[in-house]
Structure 1
Amino acid sequence: MFEKLVAIEPISLVDWAEKKLNSFAKEVVMFEDIPQDADEIVNRIGDADAVLLSYTTTLDKEILKRCPNIKYIGMCCSLYSPESANVDINYAKTRDIVVTGIRDYGDEGVVEYVVSELVRCLHGFETSPDGTKIAPWNGVAEEITGLKCGIIGLGKLGGMIADALSFFGATIDYVARSEKEDAAKKGYKFVPINDLMANNDVVICCLNKNTVLLHEREFESFGNHKILFNVGLSRAWDEKPFIQWLSRNNRVYCDSPGALGNEELQSHPNVRFMNVSAGRTRQAFDRLSEKVIENLSEYNG
C-alpha cells in the first residue's frame, strides 16, 4: 500500500474506480483542475509516493528530480512509447519508478467519428453555420462503397478504422513500420507513403503523438479534391505545406485541438473541427477506469 497517492489533475475515472483508489493508499488526494506550471505540479505531488495524471500535464526529468519519494506513476491516458509519453519514462527507469499507461480505451468512439463524418460528407448531410445545405463532396450522394482509403499507422485504432471502412466496401491501402500478415489476408495493401497519398481519395492519420509523416512531398502527391482525417493526439504534418494544400479544394477533419495543431485554422472553411475528443465516451471512461485499477492492482501484488 502507498503512503500517499495524488491525482495531480482530472483523470476521468467513474465513481466506483475513484472509491477503489482508497484501497491502494493510506491517503488519497484528487485535484480537479490542471496545474499551471512546474512549481504547482511539484507542490501537488509533495511527499507522495504514487502519482496519477492524464494527458494534459507533463512530468519531465526536472520535475521528477524534485519529487524524490515517487515510486509509481499511473498514466490515466494512452501510453504507446516512451518518446510519445508525457512522462520522462527513460529518466523514471533510472530511479526505479514504475510507469504504467493505458491503451485502446477510446478507439470505438473514434471509429464511429470517422465513419459518421465520411457519410455526412459523401451524402451531403452537412450544413454550413448559417444553416445552408452543403452539397455532397462529389456533387451527387455517394456511398463509402468503392471509396479509395489510405490508413497511415495500422495499429489497433488504424486497424479498426480500416476494418470499418472495408465493411462498407472501401478499398484499403496502408502505411506501417512493416507489412502485417493479418492485413494482407483482409486484402489491405501495404504501400510506400507517397503511393498511398497519390492513389487514395481519403487518408486517415492514426499516428502516435508527436509523429510527423506528411511533408511537402506527401502533400504534392496527395493532390486536390481530397479528404484528410487526423485522429491522433498531435498534428501529423508540417504546417506550411499542409496550409498550402488546405487552401485548395481539399478538406481536413480533426476532432480535437491537438489533432489540428493551429488554433487559427479552426474556423478555416476547409476544416471540419469538432473541438472534442471523439474517444471520450461513457464506455471509454468505463474501460479507462478498469485499466487504471488493474495497473494499480498489479503493482501492489
Structure 2
Amino acid sequence: MFKQITIIDKTGLQEWAIEKLGKYSENPIKVYDDIPSSEEEAAKRIEDADCVFVSWNTQLTAKVMSNAKALKYVGMCCSLYDKKSANVDIDYADKSGIMVKGIRDYGDEGLIEYILSELIRLLKGIGKQQWKENPVELTGRKVGIIGMGTTGQMLADRLQAFGANVSYYNRSRKPQVEENGVNYLTLDELITSSEIISLHLPKNTTILSEEEFTKLGDGKILINTSLGFTFDKSAFDHWISNPTNYAIFDGDGIGQHKEEYDKSENILSTEVVAGWTIEAQERLSQKVLDHVIAFINNESR
C-alpha cells in the first residue's frame, strides 16, 4: 500500500487502471495530463509521492527524485531496455532503494502495421512518392532488420508472409529466428546486400555513421521507428540528398526533426506515434498494473 500515488504526466494509463490503482493509495491519486516544463516542476509534482508513474516524455533525474523523500516505486509507462536509454536515473534509484519497473512489447502490433502500410505505398506509388520507375512488390525484396527484439521478429514474420527475403543483424544471434528462415548477417554484410533496412534499437543508440551510409549506397529505403535517430544525422542528411534514396519515419522515429524534413520529397513521416493505439494503451495499462501489484504483494509478505 502507498500513501500517495502520483501520475506525473500523460502516461496513457486507462481510466480502469487508474481506478484500480486508487485502491493502493491512501490518498487520492494525483493525475497530471501534461508534460512538466522543467525539472523544478517535475520535482514539485512528486514531492509527497511514494509511488510515481511516468511516460518516456519526462526525465526523472536524480535531482527530481531526490525531492520525493518517501519515494520507493517508479512505474515507467514505457519500455525499459537499459540504463543508457532510460528516462529514469536508474543508478540513483538503485542507490536510494527505489524500485524502477518498465514494460516491454505493448505497441508493436500498431507499429508493424504502419511500417508495412507506408512501405507498400512507397513501393507501389500509391501516395505521392514511388521508389522505382515502375511499381514493385515486396515479394523477393531484400530487407535487412537491425535489432531483432520483439518488434524486429514481428516485422520479419510479416515480411516473410509477403515473400520478402529477410536478413537481420543483432548484437547476439537469435537461433530461433534463424530456424524460421531469417538469415543472420554481419552489419557490413546486411548494409551492402539489403535494398530496405529497418532499424529497431533502444533510445540513444547510434549504429549507422558515414561509413555505413556509403556502403548502403543509393536507390535504397531506410526505416526508423526507434525512439529518436539511431544514426549520425549529418551522414543521413548527405545520403538522403540523393533523390533515389527514401526514408520512412513515424513520430517517435523522426522526433524533433519533423519540421526540418517536411519539405523533403523522399522522406515519408508523420507526427503520429505509430504504436500508440488504444489497444497498445490497454496492454500498457495491464502490464503497469501487474508490476505494481506484484511489488505490493511482495512487500506485504
TM range (shorter): over 0.9
From 243, 265, 269, the equivalent of 1:269 is 265
* Contact 2:76 2:103 (8 Å CA) reproduced: yes
2:13 alignment partner AA: L
2:197 alignment partner AA: V
TM-score by length of 2: 0.95
From 196, 203, 209, the equivalent of 1:209 is 203
Q: Which residue of 2 aligns with 1:54?
A: 55
- Are residue 16 (structure 1) and residue 16 (structure 2) matched? yes
Q: Secondary structure at the match of 1:3?
A: coil
Query: What CA distance in whole angstroms lies between the structure 2 residues aligned with 1:259 and 1:196?
Result: 23
Q: Which residue of 2 aligns with 1:79?
A: 80
* Contact 2:107 2:280 (8 Å CA) reproduced: yes
From 270, 290, 296, the equivalent of 2:292 is 296
* Contact 2:131 2:246 (8 Å CA) reproduced: no
TM-superposed CA distance for 1:176, in Å, is 0.3
2:236 alignment partner AA: F
Q: Which residue of 2 aligns with 1:131?
A: none
Query: What CA distance in whole angstroms lies between the structure 1 residues aligned with 2:253 and 2:45?
Result: 26
2:228 alignment partner AA: S
* Contact 1:201 1:227 (8 Å CA) reproduced: yes
Higher mean C-alpha displacement, 175-184 vs 202-211: 175-184
Q: Which residue of 1 aligns with 2:116?
A: 115
Q: Which runs of 5+ in 1 are unaligned?
A: 128-133
From 254, 263, 274, the equivalent of 1:259 is 254
Q: Which residue of 1 aligns with 2:235?
A: 241
Query: What CA distance in whole angstroms lies between the structure 2 residues aligned with 1:151 and 1:259?
Result: 18
TM alignment of 1:6-45, pairs within 5 A: 6-27=6-27, 28-45=29-46
* Contact 2:9 2:36 (8 Å CA) reproduced: yes
Query: What CA distance in whole angstroms lies between the structure 2 residues aligned with 1:179 and 1:46?
Result: 44
* Contact 1:230 1:260 (8 Å CA) reproduced: no
* Contact 2:9 2:55 (8 Å CA) reproduced: yes
Q: CA offsets per residue over residues 44-83 of structure 1, 9 Å max, x none?
A: 0011101011010001122222222100000011111121
Aligned length: 294
2:254 alignment partner AA: A
TM alignment of 1:129-208, pairs within 5 A: 134=129, 136-208=130-202
Q: Identity, % of aligned pairs?
A: 39
Q: CA offsets per residue over residues 1-32 of structure 1, 9 Å max, x none?
A: 10001011011122211211111111210011
2:58 alignment partner AA: T
Query: What CA distance in whole angstroms lies between the structure 2 residues aligned with 1:137 and 1:252?
Result: 10
Query: What CA distance in whole angstroms lies between the structure 1 residues aligned with 2:15 and 2:64?
Result: 30
Q: CA offsets per residue over residues 81-138 of structure 1, 9 Å max, x none?
A: 12111001121011110001110000000111111111111111113xxxxxx4x422
Q: RMSD between aligned alpha carbons?
A: 1.2
Distance 1:14 1:79, change over 3 A: same
TM-superposed CA distance for 1:266, in Å, is 3.2
Q: Secondary structure at the match of 1:2?
A: coil
1:216 alignment partner AA: E
Q: Which runs of 5+ in 2 are unaligned?
A: none
Q: Secondary structure at the match of 1:267?
A: coil
Q: Which residue of 2 aligns with 1:232?
A: 226
* Contact 1:235 1:261 (8 Å CA) reproduced: no
Higher mean C-alpha displacement, 60-69 vs 16-25: 60-69
TM-score by length of 1: 0.95
Query: What CA distance in whole angstroms lies between the structure 1 residues aligned with 2:17 and 2:273?
Result: 22
Q: CA offsets per residue over residues 205-262 of structure 1, 9 Å max, x none?
A: 0001111100011000110010000010110111111000000021110001553552
Query: What CA distance in whole angstroms lies between the structure 2 residues aligned with 1:261 and 1:220?
Result: 25
Query: What CA distance in whole angstroms lies between the structure 2 residues aligned with 1:124 and 1:190?
Result: 30
Q: Secondary structure at the match of 1:112?
A: helix
TM alignment of 1:213-224, pairs within 5 A: 213-224=207-218
* Contact 2:224 2:249 (8 Å CA) reproduced: yes
